[in-house]
Amino acid sequence: MNTDEKILVTRSFLPPRKEYDKYLDLIWENHWLTNQGELHNELQEKLQNYLGVKNVTLFTNGHLALDVAIKALGVKGEVITTPFTFASTTHAIIMNGATPVFADIKPSDCTIDEERVEALITDKTSAIVAVHVYGYPCNTSALFDIATRHGLKLIYDAAHVFGVKIDGKPIGTFGDVSMMSFHATKVFHTIEGGALLYADSSLRRSFDLYKNFGITGPETVEAVGLNAKMNEFAAAMGLCNLRYVDGEIEKRHKITDIYREILRDVSGIKIFEDIPGVAHNYAYMPIIIDEKKYGHSRDELFDRLAAKNIFTRKYFYPLTTDYQCFGTEFADAKVDNARYAANHVLTLPLYGELPPEMAENIAKFIRSLC
């Protein structure tokens, strides 16, 4: 298998140019570019319907949305979280002056291990920040039970789970609040963007406050806030992409099935299967490589694929506990499963426009090395 063209881990979806142009015409007509514009408000409402949640508040990106959620819910002291995530999750906790306490993950789906969460709770714990990884949901009922029994806030980093449902219940309806990322690399995107999803409507005011410098009127500033508003160009992209997201998920599903079919029985390669009762979004195509059985390490496979112009990614390596910026601060964290996953995971190219035969060739090449 040799491709002339570079195949990257993902490729942003772009809607038909004419559809975006229509929104550009409107922006030029309105002369309104940001600060809760017409398109921003329209997208917010459409997402509430699509995602089946009572409230959506839009943000510049997912990270600032998470930052605001932590701030607005008054999270302090210790926060139990996972190191198997993107930098954003851990950084948002620390930048709000709280201390992350790391629980290990379950090897089955790489989400936080709820039993480890319970064991780490102290009288300083104020919240759990859990991450739905690759599109696979956490054990939401166990986490809800733990959070309720211990009086903790439950925040989900739901960056990867746009459109996912558990037994028909939209993913954004679990916990106190969920953050979604609408970054260009996501199943649904607004170029850069993000949102908070929540049931308690009384939170809307503080989320709106924090995303706009704490300003409530021309002469009143009630809180120390950020600038985290979604602009009209980003909202326009979201309005276009929302029309295509079901098709995008369907195409990703087919490609995922091609990978699974070919890789399922390869010795030393673990794939992730659909979970009964879960409507998946096929956000990522992770595989976990056991070099003893497969005959090659994750890094060797990464290099072999790169030599063929196939650029996979090691999401999430390194663990956030191991970042240089933290030195040895989190060296004592007992996160063996997470460390194993970080050292053995590879995410394969997956996006709607990926030709199915390319996925087939990539999978067959991986199988041929065994």
Q: Which is nearer to ligand T4K, 170 or 193 (CB)?
A: 193
125 binds ligand T4K (CB under 6 A): no
CB of 12 to ligand T4K, least distance (A): 4
Q: Which is nearer to ligand T4K, 193 or 266 (CB)?
A: 193
CB of 265 to ligand T4K, least distance (A): 29
- Contact flags string 55-74 toward ligand T4K, x per CB under 6 A: ------xxx-----------
Q: Which is nearer to ligand T4K, 9 or 56 (CB)?
A: 9
248 binds ligand T4K (CB under 6 A): no
Q: Which is nearer to ligand T4K, 105 or 266 (CB)?
A: 105
Answer for which of 44, 85, 190, 320 binds ligand T4K (CB under 6 A) is 85
CB of 216 to ligand T4K, least distance (A): 26
14 binds ligand T4K (CB under 6 A): no
Q: Which is nearer to ligand T4K, 60 or 125 (CB)?
A: 60
Q: Which is nearer to ligand T4K, 266 or 287 (CB)?
A: 287
- Count Cα atoms within 13 angstroms, Cβ side, for 140: 23
Answer for which of 27, 44, 82, 86 binds ligand T4K (CB under 6 A) is 86
CB of 13 to ligand T4K, least distance (A): 9
Answer for which of 184, 199, 242, 278 binds ligand T4K (CB under 6 A) is 184
206 binds ligand T4K (CB under 6 A): no
23 binds ligand T4K (CB under 6 A): no
Helix/strand/coil (H, E, C) string of the chain?
Answer: CCCCCCECCCCCCCCCHHHHHHHHHHHHHHCCCCCCCHHHHHHHHHHHHHHCCCEEEEECCHHHHHHHHHHHCCCCCEEEECCCCCHHHHHHHHHCCCEEEECCECCCCCCECHHHHHHHCCCCEEEEEEECECCECCCHHHHHHHHHHHCCEEEEECCCCCCCEECCEEHHHCCCEEEEECCCCCCCCCCCCEEEEECCHHHHHHHHHHHECCEEECCEECCCCCECCCCHHHHHHHHHHHCCHHHHHHHHHHHHHHHHHHHCCCCCEEECCCCCCEECCCCCEEEEECHHHHCCCHHHHHHHHHHCCECCECCCCCCHHHCHHHCCCCCCCCCHHHHHHHHHEEEECCCCCCCHHHHHHHHHHHHHCC
Contact yes or no for 143/175 (Cβ under 8 A): yes
Q: Is 158 left (phi over 0), alpha (psi -120 to 50) or beta?
A: alpha
13 binds ligand T4K (CB under 6 A): no
Segment 134 to 173, residues that bind ligand T4K, using CB under 6 A? 157, 159-160
CB of 29 to ligand T4K, least distance (A): 28
CB of 165 to ligand T4K, least distance (A): 19
Residues within the interface to ligand T4K (CB under 6 A): 8-12, 61-63, 85-86, 88-89, 131, 157, 159-160, 181, 183-185, 194, 315
